[in-house]
Chain A
Amino acid sequence: DVKVTQSSRYLVKRTGEKVFLECVQDMDHENMFWYRQDPGLGLRLIYFSYDVKMKEKGDIPEGYSVSREKKERFSLILESASTNQTSMYLCASQGSGNQPQHFGDGTRLSIL
């Protein structure tokens, strides 16, 4: 069974801090994704990666960056956290072809 593990379930940070959200998958998937989930807005794609060291901007990349140094790990970085980045962050992985995306259980991030 595919397992996508997000390092923290809850995280509280202060405005201006640099924040790292970590995601690890155990299925050797090529593709990994970061979404944020907000009530009434669904899931919105922040960044995705289709290979090690490769990254592509999603629909809302502003204020975020990502790192993929190893195939199994995809990190989301908030360079200087702001209160409007308070949200639920979801990581997903996907194998090649038309395989479905598999999601982690999310990190609820609060920026004070």
Chain B
Amino acid sequence: QQQVKQSPQSLIVQKGGIPIINCAYENTAFDYFPWYQQFPGKGPALLIAIRPDVSEKKEGRFTISFNKSAKQFSLHIMDSQPGDSATYFCAARTGKLIFGQGTTLQVKP
């Protein structure tokens, strides 16, 4: 019940495309859902986060969509760029953070 399931494991899109990464959870006690971005050789860094009382949050080209009834949330990257190529982790918090398995995104020029 503490798991966060993330898909897909890897994703390749062309520049300008809209990659979508999905996460699902079971524990309804989770109260905070962040996304982290990790570049090769670096630690993860907070990208954007949402609380369960909000259905959508946008920050620049990054959007989180949150479906509380389905216990799912997703990250959309608008007008993706090669510089967005990275590994993305969703997470959920109840006290501590539980991370998804990660998605490696490659944006081709």
Contacts and interface: CB of A to CB of B under 8 A. Distances in A.
A43 B99 contact: yes
Contacts of B43: 4, 90, 92, 103-106
Instruction: Sort chain A's interface into a size bin.
Output: 20 to 34
B101 A42 contact: yes
Interface residues of B, number: 20
Interface string B33-74: 010100001111110010000000000000000000000000
B80 to A, nearest CB: 22
- The listed residue with most B CB atoms (<10 A of its CB), out of A40, A59, A103, A104, is A103
Given A90-B44, A103-B44, A104-B43, A58 B96 contact: yes
Contact of A40 (B44, B89, B101): B101
Contacts of A102: 45-46
A106 B2 CA distance: 25
B46 A41 contact: no
B106 interface: no
Nearest to B46: A100
Interface string B71-109: 000000000000000000100000011011110000000
